[in-house]
Amino acid sequence: MNSPSLADLQHLARRAGQILRAAYEQEHQIGYKGVIDLVTEVDHQSEALILTEIQRLFPGHRILAEESGGVAGADGHIWYVDPLDGTVNYAHGVPFFSVSIAYSYQGLTRLGVVYDPMRDELFAAERGQGAWLNGRPLCASSATELGKSLLVTGFPYNAWVTPDDNIENFARFSKRSQGVRRLGSAALDLCYIAAGRLDGYWELTLNPWDVAAGGLIAEQAGAIVTNLQGAPDYLSPPNSILAAAPGIHAAMLEVLHLQPAALNPET
Smallest distance from Ca ion to CB 266, Å: 40
Stretch that binds ligand IPD, among 13-21, 70-78, 136-144, 179-187 (CB under 6 A): 179-187
Rule CB under 6 A: choose which of 12, 125, 133, 186 binds ligand IPD. 186
Residue 70 touches ligand IPD, criterion: CB under 6 A: no
Peptide bond into 83 cis (omega under 30): no
The CB density around residue 263, as the number of other CB atoms within 10 Å, is: 13
C-alpha 226/C-alpha 234 separation (Å) is 6
Rule CB under 5 A: choose which of 166, 210, 214, 224 binds Ca ion. 210
Nearer to ligand IPD, 193 or 247 (CB): 193
Nearer to ligand IPD, 210 or 219 (CB): 210
Stretch that binds ligand IPD, among 45-53, 82-90, 120-128, 142-150 (CB under 6 A): 82-90
Residue 85 touches ligand IPD, criterion: CB under 6 A: yes
Q: Find the residue with minimal CB distance to ligand IPD.
A: 154
C-alpha 15/C-alpha 75 separation (Å) is 26
In the chain, what's the furthest Cα-to-Cα distance? 63
Return all residues near 171 (Cβ < 8 A) that are at least 6 apart: none
Instruction: Label residues 22-45 b or e (16+ Cβ within 10 Å = b).
Output: ebeeeebeeeeeeeeebbbebbbb
Look at residue 126 and give its three-state secondary structure.
Answer: strand
Smallest distance from ligand IPD to CB 81, Å: 11
Smallest distance from Ca ion to CB 224, Å: 22
Rule CB under 6 A: choose which of 206, 228, 243, 255 binds ligand IPD. 206
Rule CB under 6 A: choose which of 17, 70, 184, 247 binds ligand IPD. 184
C-alpha distances (whole Å) from 101 to each of 9, 80, 161 are 7, 6, 30
DSSP string for residues in 10-54:
HHHHHHHHHHHHHHTTS---EEESSSS-EEEHHHHHHHHHHHHHH
Nearer to Ca ion, 9 or 84 (CB): 84
Residue 219 touches ligand IPD, criterion: CB under 6 A: no
Cβ proximity of 117 and 86 under 8 Å: no
Bridge partners (DSSP) of residue 65 are 69, 81
Residue 86 has, within 13 A of its CA and on its CB side, a CA count of 28
Smallest distance from ligand IPD to CB 115, Å: 14
Rule CB under 6 A: choose which of 73, 86, 200, 214 binds ligand IPD. 86
Residue 116 touches ligand IPD, criterion: CB under 6 A: no
Nearer to ligand IPD, 70 or 156 (CB): 156
Binding residues for ligand IPD (CB under 6 A): 82, 85-87, 154-156, 184-186, 203, 206, 210
Binding site for Ca ion (CB under 5 A): 66, 82, 84-85, 210
